Amino acid sequence: MRPEYREEPCRSALNRVQGMPFKWSLNPYMGCVHRCTFCYVRSFELRADRPADGRYGRTIRVKINIPAVLRRELARRTWQRELVAIGAATDPYQPAEGRYRLTRGCLEALRDARTPLSIVTRGPMIIRDVDVLQEAARRAEVEINFSVPTLDMDVWRRTEPGTAPPRQRLRAVRTLVDAGIRAGVGMAPILPGLTDAPDQLATVVRAARDAGATHVWCNVVHLQPGTREHFFESLEREWPELLPRYREMFERTYLDRKIADPIRAQVAALRKEFGIEDRRTYKLEPPPDPEQLSLAV
Ligand code: SF4
């Protein structure tokens, strides 16, 4: 089914965010055709009375005037050049960006305003914009985070129906790092019983190291209402044997630390083993708290 694109102008580009490692977020698109089964945005959609189920990602709002609006906001005398996080609530390099080039337009505005920025994406299309990112990185902090939760192709296919293969994302990391841009890997979300086996984790960290990633972080899945129902449905279809365990683990949104902490510890140990130093000068912590992300849309 082809997604519907709704071209709608926005009134503001930058969103004020509270309680996060960044104060501003920016999303050129609303909705995401990648339609990951675990996508935390489904829970916001549910709260906003929009479809969080299989219909999520079928309609994309395109903020057609966002680069111009952003330029006006960045030109204000009150603008403090604080970090702007791009892609906290949708993927800025989903396929629509090939046609609309709104993310690129926003990067050009941020570059011209010497404003630090970070990007979270699963989209290798970002390498199209390596020239703008290089220029922006000469003027202010720039950090790219590629979400690569697993290199298990079977799990990838069944959980991320609309994304590019994870190895392509790692090739994009290499291209960016070679261009002098800080680019790393976010192993998020790790799915217990599906992508947390020691060899699976080691494969990702090793591949990130081989791609030259400047940093690696991880986060374990959490399932809020809206996301939980959809994820359970997909489990029932793809891995029914795991459904009882997941129902038990996710009676609440967050995993018990007894399960999550050892996974995080394994990734930390692997990072050390493979010699991935965190060379960032500032810290953008693992994925935003979904409770607060509603402010980041
Ligand atoms: S790429 Fe990100 S925003 Fe898009 S569906 Fe997947 S998790 Fe959600």
pLDDT at 288 over 50: no
- Determine the pLDDT at residue 146: 97
CA distance 58 to 249: 30
pLDDT at 281 over 50: no
pTM of the predicted structure, to 2 decimals: 0.92
Kindly tell me the burial class for residue 271, based on how many C-beta atoms sit within 10 Å of its own C-beta (0-12, 13-18, 19 or more): buried
At 52, the pLDDT band (50, 70, 90 cuts) reads confident
The domain segmentation of the chain, as residue ranges, is 4-296
Answer yes or no: are the C-beta atoms of 52 and 227 closer than 8 Å. Answer: yes
Sheet harboring 4-7: ordered strands across? Answer: 4-7, 59-62, 29-30
Q: How far apart are the first and last CA of the chain?
A: 25
CA distance 143 to 173: 11
In the chain, the percentage of residues whose pLDDT exceeds 90 is 85
CA distance 261 to 255: 9
pLDDT at 282 over 70: no
Mutate to test the pocket of ligand 1, among 122, 157, 223 (most ligand atoms within 8 A of CB): 122
Tokens matching residue 263: 């996974």
pLDDT at 225 over 60: yes
**73 vs 285 pLDDT, higher one:** 73
Minimum CA distance residue for ligand 1 atom 6: 36
Sheet harboring 84-86: ordered strands across? Answer: 15-16, 24-26, 84-86, 117-121, 142-147, 182-190, 216-220
Is the CB of residue 45 below 6 angstroms from any atom belonging to ligand 1? no
CATH architecture type of domain 4-296: Alpha-Beta Barrel (3.20)
Q: Read off the pLDDT of each residue in 199-222 and give the average, rounded to a whole number.
A: 97
Minimum CA distance residue for ligand 1 atom 8: 39
Quote the strand ranges of 98-179, DSSP E: 117-121, 142-147
Q: How far is CA 260 from CA 45, 222, 223, in A?
A: 26, 10, 13
Among 25-29, 133-137, 200-204, 287-291, where is mean pLDDT lowest?
A: 287-291
Rounded to the nearest whole angstrom, what is the distance from the C-alpha of residue 63 to the centroid of ligand 1? 18
* Ligand 1 closest atom vs CA 41: 8
Average pLDDT value for the chain: 92
- Determine the pLDDT at residue 279: 53
Is the CB of residue 119 below 6 angstroms from any atom belonging to ligand 1? no
pLDDT at 297 over 50: no
Quote the strand ranges of the chain, DSSP E: 4-7, 15-16, 24-26, 29-30, 59-62, 84-86, 117-121, 142-147, 182-190, 216-220
Rounded to the nearest whole angstrom, what is the distance from the C-alpha of residue 247 to the centroid of ligand 1? 23
Is the CB of residue 91 below 6 angstroms from any atom belonging to ligand 1? yes
